[in-house]
Amino acid sequence: MTAERAIEWIDLGHMHYDEALERQLARSRALLAEQDNQQTIYMVEHPPTITIGRNGTTDNIVASEAFLEENGFTVRHVDRGGDVTYHGPGQLVVYPVLHLAPWNNDVKAYVRNLEESVIRSLATVNIHATRHADYPGVWVGDAKICAVGARVQKRPSGEFVTYHGIALNLNTNLDHFSTIVPCGIRDKEVTSVAKELGEAVDFSDWQTRVKAAFIEVFNEQGLYQNERKV
């Protein structure tokens, strides 16, 4: 084991989208400048937030500005791939800020591994989740349970650095998705762990489940991890 492969898992608790994004950007800038090789994964829960990716458009926000303002929604254009998505209470958001050298610098494999981590975590409670042939993310039947989106940049050495990540619906208020056309897909639904199980679930328990699946999928079972609450 080398220090550059150690992952620091940081629980940000409930944090505004802008602050969590700045944490990611600061860490990714350090990696891109090759100031260090520290691998970091943030876990966080956001207040109601609509983000528009580089391939997105405000046309896919169907709620009025007045409604969004009255209900405390934030709207942000962001530099990840994809279209429009929603973050909010009861949704587990995971932001890996990693350089991909330990994983063969393979971006496509990295995204597949993110999806696989969620699929395996859901399997622990007998939710059968899969990839969709036409769309990214993780699906239960024709309903999306987890969005996946990443921003990838290259270091001078040629190694890729990634940030943004996954958003898994746990106890999420699914009515909030009616404010948008999720990911620009008009003929699909969204779901949550709570909906699939028929009862609310424990947020911290799911942090543990997703983390364990991530470590397993990325083949880092023996990796030193330093965890702290911020």
Q: pLDDT tens digits, residue range 12-60?
A: 999 999 999 999 999 999 999 999 999 999 999 999 999 988 877 778 8
Which of 7, 21, 25 minimizes the C-alpha distance to 214? 7
Residue 90 within any structural domain of the chain: yes
Residue 225 within any structural domain of the chain: no
Q: Are 122 and 138 contacting, i.e. CB atoms less than 8 angstroms apart?
A: yes
Report how far apart the first and last C-alpha atoms of the chain are (Å, whole number).
26
Residue 30 within any structural domain of the chain: yes
In one-letter notation, the amino acid at residue 188 is: K
Distance CA 72, CA 108 (A): 35
Residue 105 within any structural domain of the chain: yes
Residue 230 within any structural domain of the chain: no
Q: One of 50, 118, 183, 185 is an active-site residue; which one?
A: 183
Q: Are 133 and 145 contacting, i.e. CB atoms less than 8 angstroms apart?
A: no
Whether the predicted pLDDT of 227 surpasses 70: no
Query: Per residue in 162-179, pLDDT tens?
Result: 999 999 999 999 999 999
Whichever domain contains 29, its CATH number is: 3.30.930.10
Q: Are 129 and 210 contacting, i.e. CB atoms less than 8 angstroms apart?
A: no
Residue ranges of E strands in the chain: 7-14, 39-45, 49-52, 74-77, 84-87, 91-99, 138-140, 143-154, 160-169, 189-190, 225-229
Query: Per residue in 64-94, pLDDT tens?
Result: 999 999 989 999 888 887 778 899 999 999 9
Say how many domains are in the chain. 1
Residue 200 within any structural domain of the chain: yes
Distance CA 198, CA 171 (A): 10
* pTM of the predicted model as reported, rounded to 2 decimal places: 0.90
DSSP state of 100: -
Distance CA 223, CA 215 (A): 8
Q: Are 47 and 89 contacting, i.e. CB atoms less than 8 angstroms apart?
A: yes
183 catalytic? Reply is yes
Residue 108 within any structural domain of the chain: yes
The residue range of the domain holding 205 is 3-220
Burial class (CB in 10 A: 0-12, 13-18, 19+), 13: exposed
- Average pLDDT in the 198-202 region? 98
Whether the predicted pLDDT of 208 surpasses 80: yes
Residues that constitute the known binding site for substrate = 80-87, 147-149, 165-167
Residue 228 within any structural domain of the chain: no
Tokens (6 digits) for 87: 């973050």
Tokens (6 digits) for 172: 């999420």
Residues in contact with 187: Cβ distance below 8 Å, sequence separation at least 6, in sequence order: none
Question: Per-residue confidence at 1, pLDDT binned at 50, 70, 90?
Answer: very low
Whose tokens are 């620009």? That residue is 184
Distance CA 228, CA 230 (A): 6
* Whole-number pLDDT of residue 224: 38
